[in-house]
């Protein structure tokens, strides 16, 4: 990589000549170790400016990193100006710092690229997860649903052949019918939990209201839910993500908090959406949230928020409840009320 040379040298890089060819060979040999020095001496390098007719000289200094020469920089000294020994020393030692700085920059760049790849991968993972959930939900609904219907039809036929007065068998068939009904409603619940069809058909508000209604049936915890400022449907991805955030926040409260109350507000505050989930439960040391490798819920929320260019904040203290605030950019479907 070259910087600061006249354009023709930047482009083809030819014509740069070390005055001392032995030094040039030595330096260009890969992996030559240098004896550590606070500053390496300067050397001269030329390039021709007019097809061999005019040589231009530069005073150069090595750029070193980890005891190896990784490049050099040259200074165009005006005719009649000599570098003092102090200046030579200063520039020589600058080469040592430059090497470290360049290496750090390259490392930062590598980290940035890895982060970018990881982000892409995480985004893909979430997308695949949603598709997989949809597929399992459909199969559960269709396959298991059909199997149960077949069992029910079999029972109908059996019932026709029950000898009159065999109350015990009639009772057993009634019990099996009850079990089929329960299993069928459980399958519907599971399938809906995996992929809430109402979310697609009617949007986030109705889907969450139904979800909380289901939870209220099975838990004594108070649940408040408000959506403020929305007069349009959100885009499908944002709705799904907000639905998953709500599911995770409520599940955590039910699983870990021992709370009396859970409150969720989703507020449109142009140009962003504020998601606020609070409980009055036991709380925990929020500093370590997501540190446990088995726990993916909070980590997933944070990653999803970051992927959308948003922010994730968790505030929790033992005995003082838990509060999650997420802000994501507003994604609306225009004109879809």
Ligand X SMILES: Nc1ncnc2c1ncn2[C@@H]1O[C@H](COP(=O)(O)OP(=O)(O)OP(=O)(O)O)[C@@H](O)[C@H]1O
Question: What residues line the site for ligand X (CB under 6 A)?
Answer: 252-253, 255-257, 279, 281-284, 289-290, 295-299, 322
- Measured CA to CA, the distance from residue 211 to residue 246 in angstroms comes to 10
Q: Environment class of residue 279 by beta-carbon count within 10 Å: exposed (0-12), middle (13-18) or buried (19+)?
A: buried
Question: Measured between alpha carbons, how far is 43 from 62 in angstroms, rounded to an integer?
Answer: 9
Q: Is the CB of 72 or the CB of 312 nearer to ligand X? A: 312
Burial class of residue 324 (count of CB atoms within 10 Å of its CB; 0-12, 13-18, 19+): buried
C-beta closer to Mg ion: residue 87 or 282: 282
Which CB, 65 or 253, lies closer to ligand X? 253
Distances (CA, A) of 275 to 135, 156, 225, 270, 317: 28, 50, 11, 13, 20
Cα(258)–Cα(56) distance, rounded to whole angstroms?
79
CA 298/CA 28 separation, integer angstroms: 51
Which residue carries 């930062």 as its tokens? 108
Alpha carbon 105 to chain centroid distance? 23
Q: How far is the CB of 164 from ligand X (least distance, A)?
A: 54
Per CB under 5 A, 297 contacts Mg ion = yes
Smallest gap from Cβ 187 to ligand X, in A, equals 22
Buried b (16+ CB within 10 A) or exposed e, 237-269: ebbbbbbbbbbbbbebbbebbebeebbbebebe
Task: Map tokens 């959406």 to a residue.
Answer: 273
Phi-psi region of 319 (alpha: psi -120 to 50; beta: other; left: phi over 0): left
- Nearest to ligand X of 228, 296 (CB atom): 296
Of 24-32, 108-116, 151-159, 246-254, which part binds Mg ion (CB under 5 A)? 246-254
Greatest CA span in the chain, whole angstroms? 124
Residue 243 site contact among ligand X, Mg ion, none (CB < 5 to 8 Å, cut-off depends on kind): none
> Strand, coil or helix: what is 252?
helix
Compute the least distance from the CB of residue 100 to Mg ion, in Å: 43
C-alpha angle with apex 192: 186 to 197, nearest 5 degrees? 150
How far apart are CB 252 and Mg ion at their closest, in Å? 4
Residue with the CB atom nearest ligand X in the bound state: 297
Nearer to ligand X, 238 or 322 (CB): 322
Q: Which is nearer to ligand X, 234 or 298 (CB)?
A: 298
Residue 95 interacting with Mg ion (CB under 5 A) = no
Decide which of Mg ion, ligand X, none touches 296; Cβ closer than 5 to 8 Å per partner kind. ligand X
User: Which listed range, 16-24, 149-157, 265-273, 292-300, lies at the site for Mg ion (CB under 5 A)?
Assistant: 292-300
- The yes or no reply on residue 252 touching Mg ion (CB under 5 A) is yes
Give me the residue label for tokens 């005891």: 67
Cβ 281 to ligand X shortest distance, Å: 5
Q: 181 touches which of ligand X, Mg ion, none (CB within 5 to 8 A by kind)?
A: none
**Smallest gap, in angstroms, from Cβ of residue 132 to ligand X?**
16
Cα separation, 25 vs 12, whole angstroms: 20
Residue 140 touches which of Mg ion, ligand X, none (CB < 5 to 8 A by kind)? none
Task: From 186-194, 201-209, 244-252, 257-265, give the range in contact with Mg ion by CB under 5 A.
Answer: 244-252
CA 64 – CA 71 distance, rounded (Å): 7
**Cβ nearer to ligand X, comparing 205 with 283:** 283
CB of 303 to ligand X, least distance (A): 11
In the complex with ligand X, which residue's Cβ is closer, 59 or 252? 252
CB of 298 to Mg ion, least distance (A): 7
**Where do contacts with Mg ion occur on this chain (CB under 5 A)?**
252, 297
């Amino acid at each position: 990589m070259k910087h600061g040379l006249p354009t023709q040298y930047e482009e083809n890089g030819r014509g740069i000549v070390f005055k001392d060819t032995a030094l040039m060979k030595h330096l260009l040999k890969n992996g030559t170790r240098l004896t550590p020095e606070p500053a390496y001496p300067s050397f001269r390098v030329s390039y021709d400016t007019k097809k061999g007719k005019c040589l231009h000289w530069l005073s150069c200094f090595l750029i070193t990193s980890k005891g190896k020469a990784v490049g050099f920089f040259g200074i165009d000294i005006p005719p009649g100006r000599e570098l003092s020994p102090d200046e030579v020393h200063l520039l020589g030692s600058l080469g040592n710092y430059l090497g470290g700085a360049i290496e750090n920059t390259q490392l930062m760049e590598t980290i940035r690229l890895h982060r970018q790849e990881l982000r892409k991968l995480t985004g893909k993972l979430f997308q695949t997860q949603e598709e997989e959930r949809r597929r399992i939900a459909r199969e559960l609904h269709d396959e298991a649903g059909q199997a149960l219907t077949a069992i029910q039809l079999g029972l109908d036929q059996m019932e026709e052949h029950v000898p009159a007065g065999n109350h015990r068998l009639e009772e057993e068939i009634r019990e099996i019918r009850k079990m089929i009904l329960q299993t069928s409603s459980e399958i519907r619940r599971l399938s809906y939990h995996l992929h809430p069809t109402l979310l697609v058909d009617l949007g986030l508000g109705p889907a969450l209201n139904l979800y909380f209604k289901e939870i209220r049936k099975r838990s004594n915890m108070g649940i408040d839910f408000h959506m403020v400022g929305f007069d349009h449907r959100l885009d499908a991805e944002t709705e799904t993500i907000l639905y998953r955030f709500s599911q995770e926040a409520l599940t955590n409260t039910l699983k870990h908090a021992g709370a009396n109350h859970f409150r969720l507000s989703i507020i449109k505050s142009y140009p962003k959406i504020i998601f606020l989930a609070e409980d009055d439960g036991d709380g925990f040391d929020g500093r370590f949230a997501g540190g446990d490798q088995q726990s993916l819920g909070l980590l997933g929320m944070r990653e999803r928020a970051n992927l959308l260019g948003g922010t994730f904040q968790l505030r929790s203290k033992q005995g003082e409840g838990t509060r999650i605030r997420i802000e994501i950019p507003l994604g609306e479907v225009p004109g879809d009320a």
